[in-house]
Structure 1
Amino acid sequence: MPSQSLSPLIAGFTGGVVSTTLLLPLDVIKVRLQVNESPASPVGSDQKHGRKRRLGATRVMQGIVKHEGFRGLWVGWTPAVIGSAVSWGGYFFFYESFKKQLSASDVLSSLDNFALACTAGGVMVLMTNPIWLIKIRMQLQMKRASELLNIKPYRNIGDAVATIVREEGPLALYKGVGPALLLTSHGGVQFVVYEYLKKHFRFQRINREETGRATQGITKRLQNTVTYPLQTIKARMQQRSDALEFTADGEVRAVRRDYRGLFSTIKRVFRQEGFVGFFKGCIPNAIRVAPGAAITFVVYEALMDYLD
């Protein structure tokens, strides 16, 4: 058995890999919707009535399968798994380490747990932002269509890093770090609920897991609704300037765009797409995040019981 200090790292790492792999297609669809700049139009509108059709999750999925095959739904799997596994593993590791240092002298309050989780999240954002940036960019590229439109796709993570540093400079790997740091509040709320459940529901493991899974799912869905605009802003800031996107008809077009800062991005999205633009892709995201958090925590608890 591994040492007790490494158990949270291993359990969190495994939970991140499992949940990311199972739910990656929903994440790919969400990202493509988030960065699409077409103005939102009412559901059911069409060109026959003088208005453009709306690009939705179903249309994006159909476009991916049409142009890239079913494997296109898992594009960006490697950086997604690495990023999720490292983030969750490191997140639990730092959180548990910080908690042990403080709880040795005092009983931790909910505010303490929130602060510890946000601190651990901030550390992981600074460590993993380049991975998430590469994941976003690889999820947005389409190798088959790129060849036709003369846009060179990244071959792998190493090629992505080298190309970004060469074309945009090393600091480009940290685009979107501002909204990412603000999003650490997700983990803060999650761990407040998580610690509360562990403290007040000390009964059979299966009941604890079921309660934890349900509560974490509800908490995660509420958090993502409130902070979802930050995720959209981060995706806009991290995307590649020369990219491909789907039209409302499911076809592919080349686009060029450049989002430079947090506030200019907010202004641009609101001016061109309105308030609704900040919530593009929220439906597939809502379907993904609740089971994703639940799967991660269930795997984490199961492995912690085994490793201990």
Structure 2
Amino acid sequence: MSDTPPEPVENPKGGWLPAKSWQHFVAGGLGGMCGAIVTSPFDVVKTRLQSDLFREKHAGVHIAGNGSVVIRQRPSNILYHFVETGHILRDIYREESPRALFKGLGPTLVGVIPARSINFFAYGNGKQIIANRFNNGRENSWVHLTAAACAGIVTGTATNPIWVVKTRLQLEAHDRGAATSNAKFGGSWNMIKRIFREEGVKGFYKGLSASYLGVTEGTIQWTLYERLKKLTASTEGKGGAMEWLGLLGSAGTAKCVASLITYPHEVIRTRLRQPLVNGEMKYKGLIHTLRLVIAEEGARSLYGGLSAHLMRVIPNAAVMFFIYEAILRI
């Protein structure tokens, strides 16, 4: 299928950066911040379901009042996983405290704001630079794909340490009554010192290989979003509420499709970022982790937490891209 005729890209007096390039940085940061706050509880659930540290806790094991262990039968249909997400949110709220639903939000925001700023800045300006330098000032799908891949690599490299800290914080479960005695483990700064002490600088770059693998998700998302945005713009016309609804739908659909295609890398990345268990690192590399997870838990475990992930990333993407587009049009 050939591309529809693209619009020319503004070339700012021969400079490398397009005019108002800073807008992409600010818009991406604000959009990422708002989306992360709204969907933080689903991020906690997703991280725990991806990790084998919480497999038994959330696998249907229940201690009855008389002390006996009851195994709850879990339906295997995919819709139940969305119900299960609700149950886990309820359990975290009851057993740990409402604040536990926002565990890791601090490092998430510290990570999301620069990550989205860098990603949107690199992509928004990168596609214009690539188009101007290599495609006669016009955008098309290969320009979007190349810019998205470059933006993903830059963002992943710059922000990986932050995501390691966030994952470690989310994998710590504490009782409600212990919330005030968590000073040893409960803060981002304490976690940073702990990782550095136990694992050194390399500990902050665990999961980086899986992050690079996940560049494909951002590439698919950006390319599909640009295509869907053009389709909605051509059918709905310029401006008005319908165009904004089209943008929301384009962002959510693009993220949903990209997530479904590339989700296993999320599970592998979470496993690689898990803390040491009895002083040993269970997962030791991308291929090793993939083989070990499939051997011990089956291929289905590569989609653990998918329901919580979709419930988080689809509205997150819609909010983030809505704010991004709105700021660019100011």
TM-score range, shorter chain: 0.7 to 0.9
State the AA in 1 paired with 2:93.
V
Q: 2:165 aligns with which of 134, 149, 172?
A: 134
Residues 1:296 and 1:146: Cα distance change in structure 2 (over 3 Å): same
What is the SS of the residue equivalent to 2:39? Answer: helix
* Cα deviation code 1:194-245 (max 9, x no counterpart): 33355452511532221121122122112212211110110011011249xx
On the 8 A contact 2:149/2:219 being kept in 1, the answer is: yes
CA distance in 1, matches of 2:228, 2:73: 46
CA distance in 1, matches of 2:298, 2:114: 35
Give me the identity figure in percent.
27
Counterpart of 1:206 in structure 2 is 241
On the 8 A contact 2:62/2:71 being kept in 1, the answer is: yes
Counterpart of 2:212 in structure 1 is 181
Q: 1:118 aligns with which of 119, 140, 149?
A: 149
The question of 1:302 aligning with 2:326 is answered yes
Counterpart of 1:6 in structure 2 is 22
1:256-271 map, 5 Å? 258-271=282-295
Q: 2:316 aligns with which of 285, 288, 292?
A: 292
| Equivalences, count | 292
The question of 1:238 aligning with 2:273 is answered yes
The question of 1:172 aligning with 2:203 is answered yes
| Higher alpha-carbon deviation: 19-28 or 48-57 | 48-57
On the 8 A contact 2:111/2:162 being kept in 1, the answer is: yes
The question of 1:27 aligning with 2:43 is answered yes
On the 8 A contact 2:61/2:69 being kept in 1, the answer is: no
The question of 1:216 aligning with 2:251 is answered yes
* Cα deviation code 1:4-31 (max 9, x no counterpart): 2211111110000000000000110111
Residues 1:42 and 1:98: Cα distance change in structure 2 (over 3 Å): closer
Residues 1:68 and 1:96: Cα distance change in structure 2 (over 3 Å): same
Query: Which structure's relative contact order is higher, taking Cα pairs within 8 Å and 6+ residues apart?
Result: 1
The question of 1:274 aligning with 2:298 is answered yes
The question of 1:16 aligning with 2:32 is answered yes
TM-score by length of 1: 0.83
State the AA in 1 paired with 2:307.
I
User: Which structure 2 residue ranges, 5 or more long, are not aligned?
Assistant: 1-18, 75-80
Residues 1:199 and 1:224: Cα distance change in structure 2 (over 3 Å): closer
TM-score by length of 2: 0.78
Counterpart of 1:252 in structure 2 is none
Q: Which has the larger radius of gyration?
A: 2
CA distance in 2, matches of 1:114, 1:80: 26
More helix by share: 1
1:66-145 map, 5 Å? 66-105=94-133, 106=136, 107-144=138-175
